[in-house]
Amino acid sequence: MKSGSLVFLTAFVALAFSWTGFVLVPQLQLGRLEAAKTVPAGDAYPVARSGQARQGAEVYRSLGCVYCHSRQIGQQGTTVEVTLTSVGTNAANVLSAIQKAAPHLAATASLASVPQVLGQVADTALADDAVTAIAEAGGEATVAILPDGPDIRRRWGRRRSVAQDYLYDPVVQPGIRRFGPDLTDAGATRASAEWQLLHLYAPKTVVPDSTMPGYPFLFVERKIGKTPAPDALPLSGTFAPPDGHEVVPTEEAQALVAYLLSLRADAPLYESPVTPPPAPATNGVAVATK
């Protein structure tokens, strides 16, 4: 290369390409993303966080939780699950129908109670065969297609993360490290504010072999007044404060916990469906939009 302008031209072209691809195109494609509708309920998703939880997001950023915790779920394939919802009038008939259509499901089916998860089959065609056979025998069954993969089996989330999940985050931190567990669904798996507060104060109080650092500076230790504060931490043993003292969370700790409890991404979206298992998950969807 003989001239300086050629150097700049090369650099400019290379960088302009990648800038267009990785900055401009995503902005055009996703920058104006709107809230989606959950499927099938049709609720708007996501819903903006409460003021306190938004404040908590700032605490989360400021303390650098992202250097140990990711907030993104990957998915590797799906599983197809057949659930028996009714045995109709003739249980024996249904049982033999299942045995015929999908023998490995029947082996575990005692049919004592419904709804009952019969098990997983290889693909939707097999599942449909089983459902038809059950219907012909007078019973009823449903098929659920569930996302699969190690992240989901660890109960870190119910489906893969999608762009919508981050729509209202002021600072988007998907994280690239898992020195601690993924927190995508932490508000659902650790739904107790007291657990979260204790865990932040000293992780070993609730997870004895935890390697997470504590955040005692988010709490104040003070003399107990006339009556103990209602939000004082129930500490005991080596973690207990000196006699006559109590440990209470600061506003920051409360906000951080509000944020952690708001972390749920189980709303089923068209792009990333979750066919909810029968009973509990439907209210999971309702809560998720709070």
In contact, 190 and 260? CB cutoff 8 Å: yes
**Of 24 and 92, which has the nearer Cβ to another protein?**
24
- Under rule CB under 6 A, which residues in 234-273 are in contact with ligand HEC? 256, 260
Residue 290 binds which one of ligand HEC, another protein, none, with CB within 5 to 8 A depending on kind?
none
Q: Give 107's contacts (C-beta < 8 A, 6+ positions apart).
A: none
**Of 60 and 166, which has the nearer Cβ to ligand HEC?**
60
Closest by Cα among 36, 41, 71 to 287: 41
- Under rule CB under 8 A, which residues in 71-110 are in contact with another protein? 72, 74, 76
CB of 116 to another protein, least distance (A): 24
Read off φ and ψ for residue 62, nearest 5 degrees: -65, -30
Region for residue 221 given its phi and psi (left: phi exceeds 0; alpha: psi -120 to 50; beta: otherwise): beta
- The span of 73-81, 180-188, 220-228, 230-238 binding ligand HEC (CB under 6 A) equals 180-188
Residue 260 binds which one of another protein, ligand HEC, none, with CB within 5 to 8 A depending on kind?
ligand HEC
**Of 38 and 184, which has the nearer Cβ to ligand HEC?**
184
In contact, 197 and 260? CB cutoff 8 Å: no
What mask, x for binding ligand HEC by CB under 6 A, covers residues 184 to 223? --x--xx------------x---x--xxxx-x--------
Report the b/e string of 15-30 with b at 16+ CB within 10 A.
eeeeeeeeeeeeeeee
Q: Does 57 interact with ligand HEC (rule: CB under 6 A)?
A: no
| Radius of gyration (C-alpha) of the chain in whole angstroms | 25
Residue 4 binds which one of another protein, ligand HEC, none, with CB within 5 to 8 A depending on kind?
another protein
Long-range contacts, stretch 89-97, CB < 8 angstroms, 24+ apart? 89/138, 90/137, 90/138, 93/137, 93/138, 93/139, 94/134, 94/137, 94/138, 94/139, 96/137, 97/133, 97/134, 97/136, 97/137, 97/139
- The span of 36-44, 59-67, 114-122, 240-248 binding another protein (CB under 8 A) equals 59-67
- Under rule CB under 8 A, which residues in 150-179 are in contact with another protein? 150, 153-154, 160-174, 176-179
Can you tell me which of 56, 181, 249, 273 binds another protein, judged by CB under 8 A? 181
**Of 66 and 126, which has the nearer Cβ to ligand HEC?**
66
What crossing angle do the helices spanning 251-261 and 193-201 adopt, rounded to 10°? 130
In contact, 248 and 219? CB cutoff 8 Å: yes
**Of 157 and 273, which has the nearer Cβ to ligand HEC?**
157
Can you tell me which of 30, 44, 122, 220 binds another protein, judged by CB under 8 A? 30
Count the site residues for another protein by CB under 8 A. Answer: 73
How far apart are alpha carbons 71 and 265 in whole angstroms? 10
Q: Which residues bind ligand HEC (CB under 6 A)?
A: 60, 63, 65, 67-69, 179-181, 183, 186, 189-190, 203, 207, 210-213, 215, 256, 260
